[in-house]
Amino acid sequence: MAWRLIVILAALSAWAGPAAGSAPVASAPALGAARENTPDPAGLPAVKVQDLHYGDVLFYFYGRDHFEALVRLSAYRDQGHLDPHARDAELLRGGLYLSLGQHREAREIFERLLADATTPAPVRDRAWFYLGKVLYASGHYDQSEQALRAVSAGLPIEFESERRLLIAQGLMYREQFDAAIAELEGWQGPDNWTAYGKFNLGVALVRANRIESGHAMLEQVGMLQTTDPELLSLRDKANLALGYALLQAGRPDAARIALDRVRLQGSQANKALLGAGWADAAGGHYQQALVPWVELHGRDLLDAAVQESYLAVPYAYAELSAIGQAVGYYEQAIASYDAERVRIDESIASIRAGRLLAAALAADRGARPDWFAQLKALPDAPESRYLYHLLAGHEFQEGLKNYRSLEAMSQNLDGWSTSLGAFSDMIETRKNAFVGKLPAADRRLASVDVADINRRRDELRARLEAALHDRDTSALATEHERQWLSLLAAVESELAAHAGDASFDDAREKAHLARGVVSWKLDAAWKVRVWQAQRAMRELDAVVYDARTRQAEAVKARRGTPERTAALAVRVDAVSPRVTDLARRVEAAKAAQGRRLADIAISELEDQRNRLDEYSVQARYAIATIYDRASSGAP
């Protein structure tokens, strides 16, 4: 049992990623999660699958069709088909609930089963670890910490490293920075995990107002020498966090050094370019500030840093007294903001019309309804250019996953609704086929007298047993030998009629000799013929048993088939309204979830529109200020 739980949980490990959020927390490296995809039986013995129904469930589980696996598992369990694997089936059910994001049901199963003292400690530890990891990814940080702390420190080093890091990250999301510092200080693990731990420790120190210690820790991560893509991304995050922390502390020169270490093509490049420009501007070096700001000015306007650069560039030109260029860039900013605002309004209208979800599902068609599934391609819709920014929000991601699951349930119920019609047709076909085949079956049953066959078999057995008891060799004679024995009996009878006639002495001697030869042959073949007769009797027993069994099954089928068909019809009739009711409830939930997602998306886009409005007002105010100064002759 234990190794299977490890396999189940190891299959779930790659999906338990961190939740998205606003706090500057670095996620655990995916390298560790990738290794966890490989099942680790930990030396525990394998157990043979003893029930075909359980094998059917495992087929869908290992095919990653978790919804179908859970449906079949629940149905087979309710029907009592999984008794040989009852414990394993419950463990698998908990894993499937986790994969579909049903944390409460999964936790109830794991807490109930893993509290059993017979469950091996390594298995129980991994169960708590993965449960805590999934709870963390769903944003349930309190419950995640409880589950992760339930581990009894029996995990492999990488699992233990990730456990400690997840606890610390959960504390930071709850702004319990002193507790997070206590969790991370002095902790050592593999190199990649240590780097993530140092980053989070540095952020926690800064947020706890231990500025110098935090800067020093972020500096260590920002100076990492590595070629690993994940660690390079972490290094960029560390340098960005350090740069902005130094800017806030009034140290622009040091901030510029840290921001210069951020890669130009990395995910943090835009924020780093914006911060580098402000670091130069803070020191009065506006000409230098224009270099990163102009580079940023040509990038995607959806990014908040790029939007701010549209104001920063003309601000720098104004400070350099290049009034014409400043006004030109301000006007360009206003035009860009207005054009982007129009696109946002079009996208909001499209979302309100319900086209966002339809496009998202069309782009993600064929994906499994797993809780951690993600969009792999942008949908073809006006709002697609904003979709990546929407997906950056944890709330929208979770809502989209829930909507995708509801859509899968709806399709599943539609399939069952169609199947129930097919079942009704099948039941009617069975009834007609039974009625049509019944007369011919009755005639065949009547043509075979199994009782007479059984009686004749018993007679043959009695004759064989009598021959064996009396060692009657003639009972096993061949047909040719029977003819000789019959002929000898006739000769001996004739000789007996001439008992006193000496002329028959020679014939009597020959008859006696012939009788001896035949008796000798029968005696020599006795053992072989006994073995053959007993084998033939066993074969006859099997044939007679098969005939009796077939007759009993035919009689049983004749009586039971109508009952089973009627029972199936009752079940189909009972399930049909349940499927209809579930389909109605799922559609209502889909509609509500669709409205909620639309509200989230519209709220995000409205925030972007409001930000653009604010930037546009600032740009217009800056132009007005420049014109006022020019008209008044002020410098």
pLDDT in tens, 500-526: 788 888 888 888 888 888 889 888 888
Instruction: Report the percent of the chain where pLDDT is more than 70.
Output: 84
CB 226 within 8 A of CB 238: no
Question: pLDDT per residue over 250-301, tens digit each?
Answer: 899 999 999 999 998 888 899 999 999 999 999 889 999 999 999 988 888 8
> If you average pLDDT over residues 40-51, what whole number do you get?
53
In a domain, 68, yes or no: no
Residue in the block written with tokens 């190891």: 10
Count how many Cα atoms sit within 13 Å of the Cα of residue 189 in the half-sphere of its side chain.
24
pLDDT at 604 over 70: yes
Q: How far is CA 524 from CA 9, 274, 513, 528, in A?
A: 72, 111, 16, 9
- What are the tokens at 34? 């990738």
Domain encompassing residue 449: 402-608
Cβ contact 120:44 at 8 Å: yes
Burial class (CB in 10 A: 0-12, 13-18, 19+), 633: exposed
In this prediction, residues 15-42 reach a mean pLDDT of 38
- The reply to whether 428 falls in a domain is yes
Q: What is the mean pLDDT of residues 161-177?
A: 88
Using CA atoms, how far residue 475 sits from 216, 221, 465, 519, 524, in Å, is 108, 101, 11, 12, 14
Average pLDDT over residues 550-574: 76
Q: Residue 104: its pLDDT value, please?
A: 76
Please check whether residue 515 lies inside any domain of the structure: yes
Measured CA distances, 87 to 48, 113, 124, 398 (Å): 14, 8, 14, 31
* pTM for the full predicted model: 0.64
pLDDT at 35: 36
> Does 359 score more than 60 pLDDT?
yes
Q: Residue 29: its pLDDT value, please?
A: 40
Residue 120 CA, distance from chain mean position: 24
Orientation of helix 86-99 relative to helix 52-62, angle to 10°: 20
Q: Specify the higher pLDDT residue, 593 or 357.
A: 593
Higher pLDDT, 554 or 299: 299
Handedness of CA 625, 628, 634, 635 (dihedral sign): positive
Instruction: Round to whole Å and give the CA distance between 297 and 98.
Output: 44
Highest mean pLDDT among 28-42, 266-280, 395-409: 266-280
Q: How many CA atoms lie within 13 A of 278 on its CB side?
A: 22
Q: Could you tell me which residue, 215 or 448, shows the higher pLDDT?
A: 215
Query: Which amino acid would we find at residue 442?
Result: D
Average pLDDT, the chain: 79
Give the whole-angstrom CA distance, residue 92 versus residue 49. Answer: 14
Both tokens assigned to 56: 């059917």
Is the per-residue pLDDT at 369 higher than 70? no
How many domains does the chain divide into?
1
Nearest to 242 by CA among 230, 252, 227: 252
- At 618, the pLDDT band (50, 70, 90 cuts) reads very high
- Answer yes or no: is 482 within a domain: yes
Q: Compute φ and ψ for 209, nearest 5 degrees.
A: 65, 20
With cut-offs at 50, 70 and 90, classify the pLDDT of residue 413.
confident
pLDDT value for 381: 55
Within-domain flag for 580: yes
> Who wins on pLDDT, 569 or 317?
317
- pLDDT range class, residue 377, cuts 50, 70, 90: low
- The percentage of the chain sitting over the pLDDT mark of 90, rounded to a whole number, equals 13
Cβ atoms of residues 343 and 615 within 8 Å: no
Whether 12 shows a pLDDT value over 50: the answer reads no
What is the number of other CB atoms lying within 10 angstroms of the CB of residue 629?
13
String of DSSP letters for 138-198 = TT-HHHHHHHHHTS-S-S-HHHHHHHHHHHHHHHHHTT-HHHHHHHHTT---SHHHHHHHH
CB 50 within 8 A of CB 73: no
pLDDT level of residue 47 (50, 70, 90 thresholds): low
Mean pLDDT calculated for residue range 338-364: 79
382 pLDDT band, cuts 50/70/90, is low
**pLDDT range class, residue 6, cuts 50, 70, 90:** very low
397-401, 502-506, 604-608: which is most confident: 604-608
CA geometry: angle 200, 9, 30, nearest 5 deg: 35
> How does pLDDT run across 464-484, given as a tens digit for each residue?
888 888 888 888 888 888 888
Say if 241 falls within a structural domain: no
Instruction: Name residues whose C-beta falls within 8 Å of residue 229's C-beta, 6 or more positions apart in sequence.
Output: none
Given this model, what pLDDT does residue 153 score?
A: 67
621 or 90, greater pLDDT: 621
What is d(CA 314, CA 318) in angstroms, rounded to the nearest whole number?
6
